[in-house]
């Protein structure tokens, strides 16, 4: 038995259901079966008369991408290029992708939860001849309040300096469009800042400091299990690695939607392309969705570019 990040008791990655004095109700049992049958996108057709479904229907595909053993390291290109600011960094590097001489420029600003969408943005930039600039820093939300760096449990003063330098650089050379992304994990130092309203107001103030057109990208969804670990342990039946949709969407975009309204900028949300069914699958079209519990694999994210391009087009 294990516990989820939110403390709920789980068995094999799925939540334990409440049992009354006579056991789980018949309705709950039926719902549990239907829930399990949706993990790969749709409920498979019933077997023909006289046939039974093979247990291999739920097995990890032999040609899974990336391989389970490599999923943890399936990161976006800026990691290898050292274009992701680590904790000590205060000044973003000059990292340009797509067409460096493109007439249209797109800037990505935020923490690792927009960084993992980089493969989709890079594909869009290449397809359209755009200049793509990235200003990304680990654990550094684009807010103007003092925050804590949880890895070292200290004041993350480098994040505030980084954000000021990002604003200064974009003001000096405004892009045609800036997309800002947020992780829902923001750790304010002051108790008064720990509400959703305070975090949203802080994000809105930073968005208003940016020049030109801006779009806020809602945070991605979170898995209730560490996906590569779960898949490695459940190769015969990967349904155990799915996340109930209600759990995945709990609190989704609460900060971002408020911030977007207050700043007067549009918000785009691609979560429904990450969680296409209930429960949210750990594998889609033979691709592993997450490289841990909350970062998407570069392999999977790359396939989201048409949907992301369509959302961006609504605000160009």
Topology of domain 62-313, per CATH? Rossmann fold (3.40.50)
Mean predicted lDDT score pLDDT of the chain: 86
The C-alpha R_g of the chain, in whole angstroms, comes to 21
What confidence tens digit (pLDDT) does each residue in 207-229 have? 999 999 999 999 999 999 999 99
Could you give the angle at the alpha carbon of 162 between the alpha carbons of 294 and 87, nearest 5°?
Answer: 55
What confidence tens digit (pLDDT) does each residue in 9-57 have? 443 333 333 333 334 333 333 333 333 333 333 333 333 333 444 556 7
Residues found in the chain: 316
Question: Is 186 in contact with 194 (CB distance < 8 Å)?
Answer: no
- pTM, two decimals, is 0.81
Q: What is the pLDDT of residue 1?
A: 45
């Amino acid at each position: 038995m294990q516990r989820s990040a939110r403390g709920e008791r789980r068995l094999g990655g799925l939540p334990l259901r409440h049992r009354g004095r006579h056991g789980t109700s018949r309705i709950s049992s039926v719902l549990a079966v239907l829930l399990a049958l949706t993990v790969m996108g749709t409920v498979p057709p019933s077997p023909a008369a006289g046939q039974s479904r093979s247990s291999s229907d739920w097995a990890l595909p032999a040609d899974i991408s990336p391989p389970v053993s490599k999923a943890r390291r399936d990161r976006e290109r800026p990691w290898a290029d050292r274009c992701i600011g680590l904790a000590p960094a205060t000044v973003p590097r000059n990292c340009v992708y797509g067409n460096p001489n493109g007439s249209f420029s797109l800037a990505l600003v935020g923490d690792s939860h927009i960084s993992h969408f980089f493969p989709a943005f890079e594909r869009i930039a290449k397809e359209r001849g755009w200049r793509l600039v990235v200003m990304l820093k680990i654990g550094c939300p684009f807010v103007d309040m003092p925050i804590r760096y949880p890895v070292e449990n200290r004041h993350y003063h480098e994040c505030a300096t980084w954000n000021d330098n990002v604003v200064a650089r974009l003001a000096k050379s405004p892009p045609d469009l800036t997309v800002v992304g947020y992780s829902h994990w923001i750790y304010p130092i002051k108790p008064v800042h720990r509400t959703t309203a305070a975090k949203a107001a802080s994000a809105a103030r930073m968005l208003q400091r940016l020049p030109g057109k801006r779009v806020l990208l809602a945070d991605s969804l979170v898995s209730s299990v560490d996906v590569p670990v779960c898949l490695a342990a459940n190769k015969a039946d990967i349904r155990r690695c799915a996340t109930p949709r209600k759990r995945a969407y709990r609190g989704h975009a609460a900060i971002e939607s408020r911030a977007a309204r207050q700043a007067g900028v549009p918000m785009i949300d691609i979560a429904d392309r990450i969680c296409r069914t209930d429960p949210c699958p750990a594998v889609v079209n033979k691709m592993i969705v997450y490289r841990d519990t909350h970062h998407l694999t570069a392999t999977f994210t790359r396939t989201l570019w048409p949907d992301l391009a369509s959302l961006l087009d609504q605000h160009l």
